[in-house]
């Protein structure tokens, strides 16, 4: 909390939000923002390394990305890249994978926002043609990010880690979350408990959230049935070749979750 207070004072002192939103970017403020973000990322990485499942460190990292990084596409993609090695070396630490879920869902949300902004700009520019090129170019630049590609790469990472480190529930849970996002191209709420234990939904609140999300997904068009087919093949391969008891248990639970949750 004390670090956040100091950062908030620096933001107010240098009027960083106004500089970022108005496009009045001077070299010194921008460099200072990047330096502050990088310094905080380093602090968070050290804290996460010292204490497993360090919720406070990853929570602070999210706060920094939201308030200093402003959830820009570049910052989100940089963080996806920089944390890939860390989660690969800490396959039992769910905090790191939860952070990557936050990054991917922020990218999804940013894509939706940018698409809406582009439509609005185009409607305005039908009556005002002057200056339209710059506005559309700004939106197009943000949309150039291939969301499907990054979701697919995340599933590839999960697959590689599951093969290399059998018997880790965190990897299967993360894979379930990204499979859901990749299939429907929309933000999905976290279902870590549901992913690994379909029969364990005894609390009414959990059941209600599960039912509501299931109804929402039934209304959504299935946009990547091939991806789900490949996911089923991967599960079948694990079940037929792996001798690790926990790995088999997690693969079975994951398949049951896919069948039940997606009504396949």
pLDDT tens string 63-81: 999 988 888 898 999 999 9
pLDDT at 113: 64
H/E stretch holding 29 reads helix 27-50
3-state secondary structure 47-95: HHHHCCCCHHHHHHHHHHHHHCCCCCHHHHHHHHHHHHHHHHHCCCCHH
Residue 263: pLDDT band with limits 50, 70, 90? low
pTM over cut 0.85:
no
Nearest to 73 by CA among 153, 142, 152: 142
| Better-predicted residue by pLDDT, 112 or 174 | 174
Distance CA 35, CA 74 (A): 15
pLDDT of residue 224: 57
Tokens (6 digits) for 103: 């990054």
SS3 227: helix
Task: Write out the H or E segment, with its range, that includes residue 188.
Answer: none
Q: Say if CB 26 and CB 19 are below 8 A apart.
A: yes
113 Cα distance to chain centroid: 16
d(CA 109, CA 103): 10
Cα dist from 186 to 148, 213, 251, whole Å: 11, 12, 24
Mean residue pLDDT across the chain = 75
Asked whether the CA dihedral 250, 251, 252, 254 is positive or negative, the reply is positive
Q: Place 121 in a pLDDT band, splitting at 50, 70 and 90.
A: low
Residues 6 or more apart from 44 whose CB is under 8 A from it? 57, 58, 60, 61, 64
CA dihedral of residues 129, 133, 134, 136 (deg, nearest 10): 100
Query: Looking at per-residue confidence, does 80 or 11 come out higher?
Result: 80
Position 137 pLDDT exceeds 80:
no
pLDDT band at 56 (very low <50, low <70, confident <90, very high): very high
Q: How far apart are CA 168 and CA 75, in angstroms?
A: 29
Q: What CA–CA distance (Å, rounded) separates 137 from 130?
A: 13
Task: Yes or no: say if 151 and 187 are a contact pair by the CB < 8 Å rule.
Answer: no
**What are the pLDDT digits (tens) for 214-244?**
444 444 444 456 678 888 999 999 999 999 9
């Amino acid at each position: 909390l004390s670090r956040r207070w100091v950062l908030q004072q620096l933001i107010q002192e240098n009027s960083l939000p106004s500089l970022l939103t108005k496009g009045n970017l001077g070299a010194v403020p921008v460099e200072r923002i990047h330096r502050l973000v990088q310094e905080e990322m380093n602090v968070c990485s050290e804290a996460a390394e010292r204490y497993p499942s360090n919720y406070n460190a990853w929570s602070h990292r999210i706060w920094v990305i939201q308030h200093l990084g402003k959830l820009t596409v570049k910052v989100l993609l940089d963080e996806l890249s920089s944390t890939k090695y860390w989660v690969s070396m800490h396959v039992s630490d769910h905090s790191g994978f939860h952070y990557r879920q936050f990054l991917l869902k922020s990218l999804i949300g940013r894509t939706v926002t940018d698409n809406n902004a582009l439509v609005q700009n185009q409607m305005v520019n039908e009556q005002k043609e002057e200056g339209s090129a710059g506005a559309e170019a700004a939106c197009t630049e943000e949309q150039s990010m291939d969301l499907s590609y990054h979701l697919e790469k995340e599933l590839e990472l999960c697959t590689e880690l599951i093969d290399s480190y059998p018997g880790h529930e965190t990897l299967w849970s993360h894979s379930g979350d990204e499979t859901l996002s990749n299939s429907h191209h929309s933000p999905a709420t976290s279902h870590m408990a549901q992913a690994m234990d379909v029969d364990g939904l005894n609390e009414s609140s959990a059941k209600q959230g599960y039912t509501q999300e299931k109804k929402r997904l039934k209304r959504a068009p299935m946009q990547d049935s091939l991806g789900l087919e490949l996911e089923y093949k991967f599960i079948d391969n694990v079940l037929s070749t792996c001798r690790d008891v926990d790995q088999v248990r997690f693969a079975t639970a994951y398949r049951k979750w896919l069948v039940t949750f997606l009504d396949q």
